[in-house]
Amino acid sequence: MLRRTWLVFSQAVTVAVALLFVVVTLKPEWLPRSGGSMVLPAPTIVQAAAPAGAAASAAAGYSGAARRAAPAVVSIVASKLRRKNPHADDPRFRFFFGDGPDTPQAQTGLGSGVIVSPEGYLLTNNHVIEGADDIDVQLADGRQGRARVVGADPETDLAVLKIELDRLPVIAFGNAPLLQVGDVVLAIGNPFNVGQTVTAGIVSALGRNQLGLSTFENFIQTDAAINPGNSGGALVDTQGNLVGINTAIFSRSGGSLGIGFAIPVDTARQVLESLVADGRVTRGWIGVEPRDLTPEIAETFGLPVKAGVLITGVLQDGPASKGGLRPGDVVLRIDDAPVANTAELLSAVAALKPQSRAKIGVQRGAQALDVTLTVAQRPQAVRGPER
């Protein structure tokens, strides 16, 4: 009897151990864990939507800004026919230089642009379309169209084009004067013709000038990658609003080195409105040759001021000459706006309306006085061969 009981017990233990081995091997989730709780199937995770606007988390990135701005950024192909040499039909010319192509060849340039109105107006750089015979625009949605030049302003390197397409995406204008160094910005364009590309960086500096890029310089500097083909594209804030038109880079290799420049949107807007309304930008002019006043010059001439713009030359019979401005005067104010350097003087004078009267505050030796003159219209820009 005892032997039979032991045999039944042994068989039961053997079966139990075998079952335990099978469960551990094939269904370990059936076994209890510490604390006695049973492991349940993993729940389905629903990711909460990231908050919109400036409060968006770092994980959300800047995809919202890119989605809002990118549809309004276009690619531009500007074609210029290479003119046939007028001597190409001369046998002697053909003997020395060969026959050459029988038909003119087209040279193409690539750039970007930004649609700024539902009517089809778009902003780009003047150097992107300068001298072009044909300008083709491709939208981010794949549509294409031929653009015509509404007007160009070489002195700011801006141009306005117009395309005739329906249901155009339009970018919103931001407020460039509110930008601060360190603000995040995105550059959108078509670098190297690889297709629309978005790069991110920060505002590295504001008010950059004396770079020799254009007459009126007040650039936003950014380290967002800007490369050939980005010219005329959009610089946007984290809300997707346009704050600048990408224009140039500092580079020794032709690629981005982290120093790019954009024209502030407030300047671009003024040029846009003038070109659409009048076909040209009208600016004030007084006819002087200025240079920045340095502490050394001020000390040499015994001037009581340390900042301002020294007038080194006055155009004969120009507005400044007729108003009594003299070489050696230091301009301190245009009307009520102080000017501390040549760039500020140039911008302040350009903002004056032709035929208006302006009061110029100057320092003449030890004497401070006001000179009143009649503003003229700034002559059309004459660009040198390097431009």
Tell the residue number behind the tokens 């820009």, with chain if given.
381
d(CA 165, CA 150): 16
Of these residues, 157, 223, 237, 329, which one is catalytic? 157
223: left (phi over 0), alpha (psi -120 to 50) or beta: alpha
- Nearest alpha carbon to residue 112 among 127, 126, 124, 130: 124
Place of tokens 């009208």: 282
Residue with tokens 């604390």: 35
d(CA 103, CA 100): 9
Inter-residue contact 181 to 203 (CB < 8 Å): yes
Is there a catalytic annotation at residue 370? Answer: no
* φ, ψ dihedrals at 174, nearest 5°: -95, -165
* Amino acid making up residue 329: D
Structure tokens at 10: 């042994």
Q: How far apart are CA 386 and CA 214, in angstroms?
A: 11
DSSP state for residue 112 in the 8-state scheme: E
Q: Which residues contact 148 (CB under 8 A, 6 or more apart)?
A: 135, 161, 162
Output the CA torsion sign for 319, 323, 329, 333.
Answer: negative
What gap in Å lies between CA 7 and CA 16, rounded to an integer? 14
User: Of the listed 75, 127, 214, 237, which one is catalytic?
Assistant: 127
C-beta separation of 115 from 143 below 8 A: no
Name the catalytic one among 75, 112, 204, 231.
Answer: 231
Q: Which two tokens stand for residue 372?
A: 């009143």
Catalytic residue flag (residue 87):
no
Annotation marks residue 127 as catalytic: yes
Active site residues: 127, 157, 231
